[in-house]
Amino acid sequence: MRFTKMQGCGNDYVYVDCFAQKPPTNPAALSIKIADRHFGVGGDGLILICPSERADARMRMFNADGSESEMCGNGIRCVAKYVYDHGIARKPTLKIETGRGILTLDLEIRGDKVQQVRVDMGEPILEAAKIPTTLPGDPPIEVALPSSLTLQALKGTCVSMGNPHCVVFVDAITDDLVHRVGPKLETAEIFPRKTNVEFVMVNRNDDLTMRVWERGSGETLACGTGASAVCVAGVLTGRSARKVTIHLRGGDLQLHWAEAGNHVYMTGPAVEVFSGEWIGD
């Protein structure tokens, strides 16, 4: 099976072109093996680039633990780059089908290659039952999180960008927060489908820093849907403007929650790293 390794702000996945070859029979099991950083290719998971009857391509995304996720903001930028650069659809604006629906992506092309991608992430989902979470509020804004999980006073703001997020604003982002509190919140009963967890510092009202504990993958260097949720949460809590730069461990993303239309737009890089052949089972 041929594959291509790609990354967006260090959020790296193994991509399989299912236009050129048959999709794997068991992508969930394959994701666990191929994402292993010691015994596989290494990555945050597996993404299949598939034909679509409704768009230029369809993205299926599997986390490193084999679970399938609805969307990946960094992953979809790389899908768009692959679709354009490899001649599947040579258009400056692409439609990609995801578990979130069909998203529109505008490509920044230099030297006949895609360098950056602007993704229309759609409208944030703010109803607690649809996020989903059992925390109170539509959406839950600055709700106290269970001290049995956090061992300290923390408040969460919950947003879905097609997948669930719990955004926690803090004065300082620590390894203890990310690696101890993150996994406890991910699997807490208050999140029926688990959740991604973002820990965020406000530098200015247009400049934020975040680290993310991703549902099914652990800490990753970036999360596009997470950055989108942080942008929304920043506005909802009065901490930030609608246009922000968000610094992640793997690089920067530009976010804009537009008042007109209520859509969130994310702009960031997409990079092809290498290609190879997977000979494992």
Same domain, 247 and 135: yes
With a cut of 70, which residues of the chain have pLDDT below it? 281
CATH of the domain at 249: 3.10.310.10
Active site residue 72: yes
pTM of the prediction? 0.92
Report d(CA 163, CA 98) in Å as an integer: 11
Quick one: tokens of 28? 């969930």
Residues 229 and 273 in one domain: no
What is the CA angle 135-136-137, rounded to 5? 125
**Using CA atoms, how far apart are residues 206 and 241, in angstroms rounded to an integer?**
6
- pLDDT score of 179: 97
133 and 255 together in one domain: yes
Q: What is the pLDDT of residues 17-39, one digit of tens each?
A: 999 999 999 999 999 999 999 99
Q: Is 201 exposed, middle or buried (0-12, 13-18, 19+ CB in 10 A)?
A: middle
Contact 236, 87 (CB under 8 A): no
Q: Are residues 113 and 190 in the same domain?
A: no
Which one of 9, 72, 166, 231 is the catalytic residue? 72
CA–CA separation, 220 and 211 (whole Å): 8
Residues 27 and 146 in one domain: no
18 as an active site residue: the answer is: no
- At residue 229, the pLDDT reads 98
Q: Is the same domain home to 107 and 152?
A: no
Name the percent of the chain lying above pLDDT 90: 97
What are 106-118's pLDDT values in tens digits? 999 999 999 999 9
pLDDT at position 280, please? 76
Out of 78, 158, 166, 223, the active site residue is 223
- The reply to whether 39 and 145 lie within a common domain is no
Query: How many separate domains does the chain show?
Result: 2
Same domain, yes or no, for 193 and 241? yes
- Residue 148 buriedness (CB in 10 A; 0-12 / 13-18 / 19+): exposed
| Whether residue 138 is found in the same domain as residue 225 | yes
Note whether 148 and 204 are same-domain residues. yes
Does 76 share its domain with 137?
A: no
Q: How many CA atoms lie within 13 A of 162 on its CB side?
A: 24
Average per-residue pLDDT in the chain?
97
Domain that holds residue 244: 128-262
**Are 257 and 164 within one domain?**
yes
